A and B are shown apart, each in its own frame.
Chain A
Amino acid sequence: MEVDKGKGEAEETRKVAEADRDTVTLKSSDGKLFEVSKEAAARLSTVLAGMIAGGSIDDNGTDLKQIGSEALENVVDYCNKHANSIPSAALISSSISFNTAPFKEPEEWERKFVDRLSHDALFDLVEAANFLGMERLLDVTCHKISEMMKGKSPDQIREVFNIKNDYTKEELEEIRQELAWAFYDD
């Protein structure tokens, strides 16, 4: 059919089709393609919003060279779940509380979403969220990692994250004395 049409007309059709598409295709560093709703991508990621607005979205897969396929899959998964989980009332109340609350506690589905991730996947996802300017996902993932430190002794924190103890006894004692900075220091 396109053969019969003039070149300009075909070009126009393609442009219209692009603008009408509901999804954007993202390409991970290892070349895998993922599709995500344009609306959710633009709403949840400042970087993707900028790219969509600026027309720098590639129909054949926008290259995200910094993000591996597992992390990108999680990002896309998050966007879908986020889009599906927000009924109108929750959306309105969340946009109000966002103005004042420093961090809104993760919702049940967000908690489940990060809880199933391995450490590896979580660290990758933090970086991906940061790279894509996904404020809420960054908050939720950072919060999850911070919860792994909550209520633990330094030894336990080292164990959780497999950190070698690089401190000497004297250094640790010194920090105990410096405890005050966390409260009073400028």
Chain B
Amino acid sequence: MPVMTRSQAAAASRRRDLEARRGVHVRTVVRSRKPRRAADVVVARSPEEVKKAARSVRRRRGNSKATAGERHISSLCDDLLLQIFLHLPSAATLVRAACACPAWRRGMASSPDFRRRFRSLHPSPLLGLFTSDASSSIVAAGSPTTFVPTLPHDGDDDLAAAAVHGGDLSLTSLPAGGWRVISNSCRLGNLLLHNREVQSLAVINPMSRQPTSECEGGRRVLDLASRKNTLGGGHFIGAVLSSQDSSSSSSPSSRRVMLVDHAGSKMKATIYSMDTWEVSSAAAVTPWVDVPALPDRVDGHAPHGVAVELNGSVYYVLENYGHIVSIDTTTMEFAVIELPECVSRKSLGVGETKDGTTCLVYSDGRDVGVLMHTREEDGDAHGLRNG
């Protein structure tokens, strides 16, 4: 067996610890775990050692009476602190710990690996859902959007309480009025809401408490009438974008929304900053682009579509349209993806697989199928499973 230095072994141990937490079992040093008779493992101590041990126990007991000893928790290195935080029971406790000490918070914030591990050990529970379905009996009169909580989770009281106290699930920070959730557009904890009466758009993170007044130097609401939309008679759809790059994920400037305008056979995309509702850059707005065969009306109605951002592209999915339009959020280029015949008249959804691959889910009410998009022209992997 190769000799391991202490640091190598310690690194290996940390690595293994990490792997174990991720559910991958790797052991570099394997020893027999055969049960041994107790007699084999009793440690012989010299009388001198026993005395020493007794002395040190007495000393320790003396110390333990003091609430604040010589050592302070801040003397532990960041790695060990993070290791401790991984054992916290919920994200709410983690946030409270972050509120106790700025250095702790910096430690948590500067380690994406820690956050990833924490999330995988503490999966976010489903607290409830927002609905704007006018036909639903659970929607309260006067407010078209209602939060419907799930039943309390075992052991998650902590988190549910924190969410209720810390969050704004009744959306009180929005101006009063008929705000409706734009379905499928919500991402990263942000709700995108549309108010038809006052022709406005707003984004809100219901898990964070926000000032009810106007943001300093920014607007909470986008006035749709103020947008220079030269083609009349169209409609739009919005999508909350994930951050431009992972390193700036907590920077407010990276929180953006793309609006896709659709009028006739033409489309246009614009990216706004979520906090100011300014167009985020000169390159963040496209001219009107002609998209072949884009249906202006489907069965006499404006087409029902959703826009979803995945892996740096916004996918505009229209029902009963044999294509999907994608817009690259970096280059702002449009691409039209032709759908196979088998899905063209079915109900569609775009999402990601567990490993982050973009896929298309379709259903005809009986079967559910998944399509994976590949770069090759003819390389669409096609798997169909009865649902």
User: Which residues from chain A sit less than 8 Å from chain B, CB to CB?
Assistant: 22-23, 32-37, 39-40, 42-43, 46-47, 49-50, 53-56, 69-70, 73, 76, 80, 83-84, 86-88, 91, 95, 98-100, 102-103, 116-121, 123-124, 126-127, 130-131, 133, 135, 138-139, 142-143, 145-147, 149-155, 157-158, 161-163, 166-167, 171-172, 175-186
The answer, yes or no, to whether B243 is at the interface (CB within 8 Å) is: yes
Q: Which residues does chain A contribute within 8 Å of B43, judged by CB atoms?
A: 23, 35-37, 76, 80
A-B contact count (CB 8 A): 241
Interface residues on chain B, number (Cβ under 8 Å): 93
Q: Is the pair A103, B41 in contact by a Cβ cutoff of 8 Å?
A: no
Q: Is the pair B208, A123 in contact by a Cβ cutoff of 8 Å?
A: no
User: Which residues from chain B sit less than 8 Å from chain A, CB to CB?
Assistant: 1-6, 8-10, 12-13, 16-17, 20-21, 23, 25, 28-29, 31, 33, 35-36, 38, 40-45, 49, 52-53, 56, 59-60, 63-64, 66-76, 79-80, 83-89, 91-103, 105, 109, 112, 115, 118, 121, 124, 158, 162, 166, 188-189, 205, 207-210, 242-243, 246, 249-250
Q: Is the pair B88, A183 in contact by a Cβ cutoff of 8 Å?
A: no
Q: Which residues does chain B contribute within 8 Å of A176, judged by CB atoms?
A: 99, 166, 208-209
Q: Is the pair A46, B35 in contact by a Cβ cutoff of 8 Å?
A: no
Q: Give Cα distance in the complex from A53 to B71, angstroms.
A: 34
Query: Main secondary structure on chain B at its contact with chain A?
Result: helix
Q: A120-B63, A121-B64, A135-B16 are in contact. Are A157 and B70 (CB under 8 A)?
A: no
Q: Give Cα distance in the complex from A100 to B25, angstroms.
A: 8
26 residue pairs bridging A and B, Cβ less than 8 Å apart: A47-B13, A49-B29, A53-B1, A53-B29, A69-B52, A83-B36, A99-B25, A102-B23, A103-B21, A117-B64, A118-B69, A135-B13, A135-B16, A139-B87, A142-B83, A142-B84, A146-B85, A146-B86, A152-B96, A154-B99, A158-B101, A163-B101, A177-B208, A180-B189, A186-B112, A186-B242
